[in-house]
Structure 1
Amino acid sequence: MSLMTHLAPWQMALLATLFTWGMTALGAGLVFFFKTIRSYALAIMYGFAAGVMIAASFWSLLDPAIALAEKQGKTAWMVVASGFVLGGVFLYLADKLIPSLCLKRSKQSSNFGTENQLRRTILLVFSITLHNIPEGLAVGVAFGAAANAAGAQQAGIILAATTVAIGIGLQNFPEGAAVSIPLRQSGMSRFRAFMYGQASGIVEPVAGILGAVLVSSVTSILPYALAFAAGAMIYVACKELIPEAHARTAEQSHWAILGVMAGFTLMMILDVALG
């Protein structure tokens, strides 16, 4: 943590988003060891990532945002609520760029040929890449908030931002596998499938630097920025991770629930113990 405090916000954001990209690559790397992954294992991974992000959104982001807003003499509930909603709306609008309808139709089709499978998975690569942009921005915004703080407050914000990066990195791991393994199943070589899988996360460092630079230049938006990151995380957890976890084990949804509970509990313990 002491090393991080000596870095500029954009440098911290770069390191954090390189980590989230690395987690995507790590997940994509499973293609070298497995051609398929059991449904219950994916359900636990997605659920665990969702639990981590839900816990982090309050203890690491919303709670500090409330304290900062009160210290600035603002109406805390209004500041945090508006930032939180803005984070969710931002990801909703970004999500509209993704051709999700095409994905749903492809998934519902029971007659998959090799060419159709490949098209479907490449569309998945495109969709994951697009929604990684606002996730990278969320990490950058969280680290950018540290630029206008000092001392213990700065250390707390950096810890919160690190938690955001960990949460997004955890959810990137199964996403990398979700891209590379279907590509391998459709006939692509292991190396090429891996390269496609890791490439879906390469946009996060660029978006992270951009978010940090924008936020670090304005002091008054600190609590808004933290709440924004929280809203973005909750949106990702509710829109992407929890439904995906349940979809993996339609008849045994307890695996998804156990993953959410485990992730939430672990992150809550870490936040409270380190906070």
Structure 2
Amino acid sequence: MDYPWQDGQPYKISMLTSTGLVIEHDIAAAVQTPQAGASFFGLMALLGTYVGIIPVVLGMLFLPFLRTVGGATVRVLLAFTVGLLAFLAWEGTSEGFELAGASGSPFGGAELVVLGAALAFLTLTAIDHWLRTRRQQAAASGQANGLRLALMISIGIGLHNLGEGLAIGSAYAVGELALGAFLVIGFTIQNTTEGLAVVAPLTERRPPLLRLLGLG
């Protein structure tokens, strides 16, 4: 159906069914649906790099600073990360329930949001338990060191950032551009502090630069 719409303008769409039922939908900012292709996937990969890799590497640059400050400062920085995560979790959950309420599919309601959150939590808990077991076994055999712990943290953060990428992609997929931009900004700030968590076990060591880049 052709319609002379303008890019970025808000619209209200009303559909009249044969039974007289009117279905309305608000479009906050009309944009063309992106077509899957090399340029699209390249753009998404570039966006993921900006959000999930570069901020972590920037946070890792604070390693010399962590060597000079005490544990109280590190705990304050990590507490700041917890606060960001709590806010993003609340915002993302509320938006998810709002989108679920507007869905007419029997499998697209609030139950799906709760189920997805529960599965994500259980998956991450299982991974955390596996990594914790590996770390305890290494400590018992005398092989544990800061680099091994930093590697485990970087793997865990990588899996965590996969979920963040899914959240950003889902927001853009349903046309919530404002939510997508908000998640990009929030995750970028939060991922900078995650770099601190990666290098925190390395304050007593001096790993090579290439190894630090590999962790990032």
User: TM-score, normalising length from structure 2?
Assistant: 0.67
CA offset at residue 104 of structure 1? 4.9
* Structure 1 residues 177-192: aligned runs within 5 Å: 177-184=199-206, 188=207, 192=208
Kindly indicate whether the alpha-carbon contact (under 8 Å) linking 2:63 and 2:200 is maintained by their aligned counterparts in 1.
Answer: no
Letter in 2 for 1:45: L
Residues paired across the two proteins, number:
179
Partner of 1:47: 79
Partner of 2:14: none
Kindly indicate whether the alpha-carbon contact (under 8 Å) linking 2:97 and 2:110 is maintained by their aligned counterparts in 1.
Answer: yes
Instruction: Look up the SS of the partner of 2:69 in the other structure.
Output: coil
Unaligned runs of 5+ in 1: 109-115, 202-275
Asked if 1:158 corresponds to 2:173, the answer is no
Asked if 1:86 corresponds to 2:119, the answer is yes
Kindly indicate whether the alpha-carbon contact (under 8 Å) linking 2:146 and 2:205 is maintained by their aligned counterparts in 1.
Answer: yes
Partner of 1:242: none
Instruction: Look up the SS of the partner of 1:183 in the other structure.
Output: coil
Larger Rg: 2
Partner of 2:101: 70
Kindly indicate whether the alpha-carbon contact (under 8 Å) linking 1:16 and 1:139 is maintained by their aligned counterparts in 2.
Answer: no
Aligned counterpart for 2:90 among listed residues 46, 58, 69: 58
* Structure 1 residues 127-206: aligned runs within 5 Å: 127-150=152-175, 153-167=176-190, 169-184=191-206, 188=207, 192=208, 194-201=209-216
Instruction: Look up the SS of the partner of 1:87 in the other structure.
Output: helix
Q: Which has the higher strand share?
A: 2
Kindly indicate whether the alpha-carbon contact (under 8 Å) linking 1:129 and 1:200 is maintained by their aligned counterparts in 2.
Answer: yes
Unaligned runs of 5+ in 2: 1-7, 9-30
Kindly indicate whether the alpha-carbon contact (under 8 Å) linking 1:25 and 1:198 is maintained by their aligned counterparts in 2.
Answer: yes
CA offset at residue 176 of structure 1? 3.3
Kindly indicate whether the alpha-carbon contact (under 8 Å) linking 1:176 and 1:198 is maintained by their aligned counterparts in 2.
Answer: no
Aligned-partner Cα distance in 2 for 1:52–1:125: 22
- Identity among equivalent positions (%) equals 18
CA offset at residue 88 of structure 1? 0.9
Q: After superposition, what is the alpha-carbon deviation per residue over 1:150-179, rounded to whole angstroms, capped at 9, x for unaligned?
A: 3xx332233234423432x14313213314
User: TM-score, normalising length from structure 1?
Assistant: 0.54
Instruction: Look up the SS of the partner of 1:182 in the other structure.
Output: coil
Kindly indicate whether the alpha-carbon contact (under 8 Å) linking 2:147 and 2:202 is maintained by their aligned counterparts in 1.
Answer: no
Instruction: Look up the SS of the partner of 1:73 in the other structure.
Output: coil
Higher relative contact order (CA 8 A, sep 6+): 1
Letter in 2 for 1:82: L
Kindly indicate whether the alpha-carbon contact (under 8 Å) linking 1:180 and 1:196 is maintained by their aligned counterparts in 2.
Answer: no
Kindly indicate whether the alpha-carbon contact (under 8 Å) linking 2:100 and 2:109 is maintained by their aligned counterparts in 1.
Answer: yes
Kindly indicate whether the alpha-carbon contact (under 8 Å) linking 1:28 and 1:176 is maintained by their aligned counterparts in 2.
Answer: yes
Kindly indicate whether the alpha-carbon contact (under 8 Å) linking 1:146 and 1:154 is maintained by their aligned counterparts in 2.
Answer: yes
Q: Which has the higher helix share?
A: 1
Distance 1:183 1:48, change over 3 A: same
CA offset at residue 103 of structure 1? 3.4
